[in-house]
Amino acid sequence: MRLGFIGLGTMGRPMATRLLKAGFTLTVHNRTASKAHPLLEMGASWASSPAELAQTSDVVITILSDTPDVEAVLFGPKGIWEGIRPGSVLIEMSTIAPDAAVRFAQRLTERACEMLDAPVSGGERGAIEGTLAIMVGGREDVFHQCLPILRALGKTIVYTGPNGNGQKTKLVNQLICALNIVAVAEGIHLAERLGLDVETTLRAISQGAAASWMLANLAPKILQNDFTPGFKIALQQKDLRLVREAIQRTCGREAPENPDLGPTAFPGAELAFRLFSEALREGLGEMGTQGLIVLYRHRA
- Give 18-35 pLDDT, tens digit per residue: 999 999 999 999 999 999
Q: How many CB atoms lie within 10 A of CB 171?
A: 23
- The number of domains in the chain is 2
CA dihedral 274, 280, 281, 284 (to 10 degrees): 130
Annotated catalytic residue: which of 35, 155, 170, 232? 170
> Do 178 and 156 share a structural domain?
no
Q: Which one of 127, 147, 163 terminates a domain?
A: 163
Domain with 33 in it: what CATH number? 3.40.50.720
CA–CA dist 44, 4 (Å, integer): 10
pLDDT cut 70: percent of the chain above it: 96
> Do 69 and 24 share a structural domain?
yes
> Do 118 and 245 share a structural domain?
no
Domain that holds residue 102: 2-163
> Do 90 and 221 share a structural domain?
no
Q: Decide if 78 is catalytic.
A: no
> Do 199 and 129 share a structural domain?
no
pLDDT, tens only, 132-155 = 999 999 999 999 999 999 999 999
**What is residue 229's predicted lDDT score, i.e. its pLDDT?**
93
> Do 241 and 196 share a structural domain?
yes
> Do 152 and 41 share a structural domain?
yes
> Do 266 and 158 share a structural domain?
no
What residues contact 177, with CB distance under 8 A and at least 6 apart?
Answer: 121, 214, 236, 289
Helix, strand, coil shares of the chain, percent, nearest 5, are: 60, 15, 30
Segment 50-73 shows an average pLDDT of: 97
